[in-house]
Structure 1
């Protein structure tokens, strides 16, 4: 199951069921779990943990040094991938930037061709990144979110659960749970179709819509809207949206601009 041209460090721990293609390079103390497939010319650099059933595509580089001018190459850090991820061709995932830190990805994510996760990114489960999506350092991504091709994200921001992001968008502020985002730092509404497909009940969707209108469309500034929303009881899934907006990153939350027309 290991091609004769592959170069594998003796310290690597490779499950016997792993399939390794031509010219793969595993450099360092990697750990590759059962049922994984590493395709031709892919590279695992340093301490990379690959969970069961993960596929790493041709030419992908996992565990490279952070693109940080202050980074010391002697720093011991890692990349940790969960189970059943699909990492397609030429994806790059850089390791953590501080001693003992890690770039972490959960389970069942699909990273399409040429997407990039910078150092210290933390991603949940079942996310889809289309071709050329670029995540800068220290970004946190939730679960079940779709990012369109060519979308780019500035460092240190947060992207919530069940979001949908338009391709070629550019973002330097947080995107809360359940939201649809496009262009430059613009929320255009809720990912209503996605919530329905993911099994949210009509009551849950209704409560989320009501809270969204109160927070972003009620004519108050965000501080006033949060105070008004916090005075009410919300169902669990709607309350998660309120909690996200109450605790933004230093970047703040994207503003809402409803509609699809030009500015």
Structure 2
């Protein structure tokens, strides 16, 4: 299952059921789980662990050093990738930037061609990054989120669960759970279609919508809106949205697009 032209370190641990294609490079103490497929010319290096059933596409580079001018090669950091992920051609995933730091990917994600995860990124489960999505260091991405092609994300921000992000958007602020985001740091509303497809009940969706309208459409600033929201009781999913908004990153939260902006 290992092509004779592949270059594999003696430190590497590869499950016998894994496949390694022509001219692939596996360098250092890499661990590759059962049923994984490493395509030709892929490179996997360093302290990288890849869970069962994951596919690494042609020319992808996983575990390389961060693009951080303060980084030293002696730093002991790594990459952890869960089960059943699809990582397509020329994806790049860099290792953590500090001793003990990890770039972590959960299960069942789909990273399309040319996408990039910078150092110390945390990606949850069942999310899709379309072609050429660029995620800078220390970004946290939730579960069941879709990022359109060419979207870019500044370091140290958070993207919640069940979000949808327009292609070619540019973001340097947090995108809350359940939201649809576009352009530059703008929300267009809730990911209504996505929530319905994911099985959220009408009651769940109504609770989320009520909180969203209070926070973003009441005319209050964010601090005032959150104060008002705390005085009410909310459903489980709406309460998760409230908790996200109450603990923003230092970058703050995206704002709601004006109607004429959305129409354009």
Band of TM-score, shorter chain: over 0.9
Could you give the per-residue CA deviations for residues 116-142 of structure 1, whole angstroms, max 9, x where no partner exists?
000000010000000000000000000
Counting only pairs closer than 5 Å after superposition, residues 184-223 of structure 1 correspond to structure 2 as: 184-223=184-223
Task: Please say if 1:140 is aligned against 2:140.
Answer: yes
2:250 is aligned to 250
Provide the C-alpha distance between the structure 2 equivalents of 1:162 and 1:258, rounded to a whole number of angstroms. Answer: 22
SS in 1 for 2:225: helix
Gaps of 5+ in 2: none
CA contact (8 A) 1:173 1:185 kept: yes
Provide the C-alpha distance between the structure 1 equivalents of 2:127 and 2:172, rounded to a whole number of angstroms. Answer: 19
Could you give the per-residue CA deviations for residues 191-226 of structure 1, whole angstroms, max 9, x where no partner exists?
000000000000000000000000000011111100
Task: Please say if 1:166 is aligned against 2:160.
Answer: no
SS in 2 for 1:29: coil
Task: Please say if 1:130 is aligned against 2:130.
Answer: yes
1:100 is aligned to 100
Could you give the per-residue CA deviations for residues 22-41 of structure 1, whole angstroms, max 9, x where no partner exists?
00000000000000000000
Deviation for aligned residue 1:102: 0.5
**TM superposition outliers: structure 1 runs of 4+ over 2 Å:** none
Could you give the per-residue CA deviations for residues 204-250 of structure 1, whole angstroms, max 9, x where no partner exists?
00000000000000011111100000111101011000000000000
1:149 is aligned to 149
SS in 2 for 1:209: helix
1:110 is aligned to 110
Deviation for aligned residue 1:261: 2.5
Gaps of 5+ in 1: none
Question: What TM-score results when the alignment is normalised by the length of structure 1?
Answer: 0.99
Provide the C-alpha distance between the structure 1 equivalents of 2:92 and 2:249, rounded to a whole number of angstroms. Answer: 25
CA contact (8 A) 1:187 1:258 kept: no
- Number of equivalences: 262
Provide the C-alpha distance between the structure 2 equivalents of 1:78 and 1:63, rounded to a whole number of angstroms. Answer: 6
Question: How well do the aligned residues superpose, as a CA RMSD in angstroms?
Answer: 0.6
Deviation for aligned residue 1:19: 0.4
Question: What TM-score results when the alignment is normalised by the length of structure 2?
Answer: 0.98
1:261 is aligned to 263
2:86 is aligned to 86
Deviation for aligned residue 1:258: 4.5
Provide the C-alpha distance between the structure 1 equivalents of 2:186 and 2:219, rounded to a whole number of angstroms. Answer: 17
Deviation for aligned residue 1:45: 1.0
Provide the C-alpha distance between the structure 2 equivalents of 1:219 and 1:170, rounded to a whole number of angstroms. Answer: 25
CA contact (8 A) 1:189 1:258 kept: no
